[in-house]
């Protein structure tokens, strides 16, 4: 059997680049360069950011502003906005990328598989019926079809349009 290669040049930055100092989520929140940090939307107490090393095209995360590692530390207003942003994100991804379904989940703590256990975040991964094919099943390889820049542009336009619509509606009392 011949050895097979899959070209993934975007991984070079992850492999060869310097490790980011501090919390990647806090760094992204402090930055004013949303596109560079892949921030799609900033709320009052939480924000939406793309996963730089996605499981699938359109993989994003909803993250509280506060540097906390567990749901139990969310204040009521933070909890409400956190869930509202998860719903908004699903709505935007559905409207812009038209997936068949979603995986939505959180790993709280290192033992649960959290790659960043000290700053909680919810993963939202769009799925298409056709994305479960022979590559991940037999080849143990996942193929991400679209680059981050393209997906960022599509999702950012979706968030901007949806939030413009929300801002024009009357406020809740």
The DSSP annotation for the chain comes to --------TTHHHHHHSPPPPS-HHHHHHH-S-HHHHTEEEE-SSEEEEE-SS-SSTT-EEEEESS--S-GGG--HHHHHHHHHHHHHHHHHHHHHH--SEEEEE---SGGGT-SSTTS--EEEEEE-GGGSSHHHHTS------S-HHHHHHHHHHHHHHHHHHHHHSPPP-
CATH number for the domain harbouring residue 107: 3.30.428.10
Of the ranges 13-17, 99-103, 163-167, the best mean pLDDT one: 99-103
pLDDT digits (tens, 9 = 90+) for 128-170: 886 654 444 444 445 556 678 889 999 999 999 988 755 544 4
Residue 119: active-site member: no
Q: Catalytic residue, from 59, 67, 121, 123: name it.
A: 121
Is 11 within a domain?
A: no
Q: What is the pTM of this model?
A: 0.79
Higher pLDDT, 4 or 120: 120
Tally of structural domains, the chain: 1
């Amino acid at each position: 059997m011949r050895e097979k290669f899959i070209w993934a040049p975007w991984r070079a930055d992850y492999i060869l680049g310097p490790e980011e100092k501090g919390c990647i989520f806090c760094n992204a929140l402090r930055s004013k360069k949303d596109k560079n940090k892949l921030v799609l939307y900033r709320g009052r107490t939480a924000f939406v950011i793309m996963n730089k090393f996605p499981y699938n095209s359109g993989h994003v995360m909803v993250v509280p502003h506060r540097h906390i590692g567990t749901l139990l530390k969310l204040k009521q207003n933070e909890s409400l906005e956190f869930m509202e942003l998860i719903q908004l994100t699903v709505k935007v991804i559905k409207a812009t990328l038209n997936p068949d379904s979603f995986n939505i989940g959180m790993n709280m703590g290192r033992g649960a598989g959290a790659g960043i256990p000290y700053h909680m975040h919810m993963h939202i991964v769009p799925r298409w019926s056709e994305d479960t094919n022979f590559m991940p099943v037999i080849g143990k390889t996942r193929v991400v079809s679209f680059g981050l820049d393209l997906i960022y542009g599509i999702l950012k336009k979706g968030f901007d349009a949806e939030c413009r619509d929300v801002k024009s509606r009357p406020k809740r009392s």
